[in-house]
Amino acid sequence: MSNHNLFVALRDAFPADLDRTAVETDDGLVYSWCDLDRATAMVANLIDSLDLPAHSRIAVQVEKSVEAMVLYLATLRAGHVFLPLNTAYQSAEIEYFIGNAEPAVVVCSPKNHGWVSKIAFTAGTAFVFTLGDDRTGSLLDRAAHMSDRHTPAVRGSDDLAAILYTSGTTGRSKGAMLTHGNMLSNARVLRDHWGWRPDDVLIHALPIFHVHGLFVAIHGALINGSKMIWFSKFDPKRAIAKFAEATVFMGVPTLYVRMLAEPTLTPAQARHMRLFISGSAPLLIETFTEWQVRTGHTILERYGMSETVMLTSNPCGDDPRYPGQTERRGGTVGFPLPGVELRVVGDGDQTVAQGEIGGIQVRGPNVFKGYWRMPEKTAEEFTADGFFKTGDVGRVDEQGYVVIVGRSKDLIISGGYNVYPAEIEGYINDMPGVAESALVGVPHPDFGEVGVAVIIPKPGAAVDPDQVIGVLKSQLANFKIPKRCWVVNELPRNTMGKVQKNLLRDQYKGEFA
């Protein structure tokens, strides 16, 4: 029986010379391929020693480090399910994820051990470890005593590899269940599509608790045996300085906007680079064009989701499916990736004529298995013929390029992070003196889009916007906090009484101009 464990495929792609550098960090540490192999074996052996039930969830909320990546790979290697959590999440958010996913193991930062372990043990988690970003913590202490040899667990391609929580327009976050097969098929497609070469060097500057940094970037480098230059936190000056030693960069649009503000960004500095990739949020055409002028490179924009990994990409060379169409077009997310079926539908899930706008639906080996313990929600999001409803609105132009024009889901994407207005409105509405609220996304020069809250007080009550922000900061991840808060007398409504958020977006669109 062949082993479809994603780790096995990644390990098979390590270069023959295991002493070569696999990862070099911004603070000067160097990890060879042999180090990655041995470290993942030791952590996988530690996980095995815990005698967990098969397919246990391992929830991880730690600062970015190479050891955090090792923990991800070791979880795969041991055959369990990785559950990454944004470091910005606060206790109520963590309590929900742990309560919902029921992980057997939780790994947290040493500084958070007190409150996280309390939540975890209350929820029935058997083991809590710590992992600091400086190679400290109980996880590595325990793993140090383990063997550095490990036989990867046998997994089928339909077995779960990771659960990624994504919020919903209504209700609580849903755990998107991704399988070994979902991620491996996508990694292989991207390797071929983006023309990865063994001598590529990736600048890894994204967080590793979401699809972009964890899967697209890490799998991309590993499945190709390519070195990574590893930044624990994005810094535009230092990233640009590394262009001279690297070939591939991946970022959300905010990263490109911040690098454009640096005078050191020049065609000469970017000469060694081969490919700049952008995704997770719309790349403004101004950023796309300015990048061409400032570096001589054309950013390749691609589109994906937590539920589907990558779906479309602008070309990176000749694609036999679209002969001669090698242009990377700004304002588009390119063509569906090989193996991905994409259609644009109108009412009743009928495919619209090419060029017309509608809901984007997708099907393919990369599309997730469903939402964790939410069969009804899963059924709602798939059509009878197995297409997943992305909630994105777009069109396919005459040449076949996909253009995203908006979203039917009420979602704000701020600096590449998703903010669901319903969640934030719920917290505001619970505050004393608040009758109702609406959160809308407005343009922002740095984050692309940010949330502005509009609040209606109860009759006779006074609501202080600064206090609202202050209370939210104590409850929610920092990127979800509205950047501004307005208290007004009424919200615009349509004849059905529904708040017209488009009018609010229009009214507040100049706030950060």
Asked if 10 and 223 touch (Cβ cutoff 8 Å), the reply is yes
Residue ranges of alpha helices (H) inside 336-460 are 375-381, 421-429
Q: What residues numbered 479-508 form the site for ligand MCA, per CB under 6 A?
A: 479
391 is a site residue for ligand MCA (CB under 6 A): no
Of 66, 76, 275, which is closest to residue 184 (Cα–Cα)?
Answer: 76
Radius of gyration of the chain (CA): 23
Toward ligand AMP, which CB reaches closer, 295 or 313?
313
Query: What would the x/- binding string for ligand MCA be over residues 258 to 287, using CB under 6 A?
Result: ---------------------xx-------
Q: What would the DSSP string read from start to end of 299-338?
A: -EEEEEETTTEEEEE--SS--TTSTT-----TT---EEPT
Asked if 22 and 36 touch (Cβ cutoff 8 Å), the reply is yes
Sign of CA dihedral 121, 125, 126, 127: negative
196 is a site residue for ligand MCA (CB under 6 A): no
206 is a site residue for ligand MCA (CB under 6 A): yes
Toward ligand AMP, which CB reaches closer, 129 or 303?
303
334 is a site residue for ligand MCA (CB under 6 A): no
* Selected range binding ligand AMP among 225-233, 261-269, 297-305, 446-454, rule: CB under 6 A: 297-305
Asked if 360 and 387 touch (Cβ cutoff 8 Å), the reply is no
* Selected range binding ligand AMP among 230-238, 243-251, 278-286, 453-461, rule: CB under 6 A: 278-286
* Selected range binding ligand MCA among 113-121, 219-227, 377-385, 415-423, rule: CB under 6 A: 415-423
Toward ligand AMP, which CB reaches closer, 255 or 413?
413
Beta bridge partners of 386: none
User: For residue 168, what are its two tokens?
Assistant: 């919903």
Toward ligand AMP, which CB reaches closer, 153 or 305?
305
Instruction: Tell which one of 404, 439, 472, 476 touches ligand AMP (CB under 6 A).
Output: 404
**In the complex, least distance from residue 308 CB atom to ligand AMP, rounded to whole angstroms:** 8
390 is a site residue for ligand AMP (CB under 6 A): yes
305 is a site residue for ligand AMP (CB under 6 A): yes
Neighbours of 124 (CB within 10 A): 11
CA–CA separation, 339 vs 263, rounded Å?
41
**Identity of the residue numbered 12:** D
Label residue 438 exposed, middle or buried (CB < 10 Å: 0-12, 13-18, 19+): buried
CA–CA separation, 229 vs 251, rounded Å?
14
Of 9, 21, 31, which is closest to residue 226 (Cα–Cα)?
Answer: 21
Toward ligand AMP, which CB reaches closer, 185 or 308?
308
411 is a site residue for ligand MCA (CB under 6 A): no
By CB under 6 A, name the binding residues for ligand MCA.
206-207, 210-213, 233-234, 252, 254, 279-280, 304-306, 414-417, 447, 450, 478-479
By CB under 6 A, name the binding residues for ligand AMP.
166, 211, 279-282, 301, 303-306, 333, 390, 392, 404, 407, 413, 418
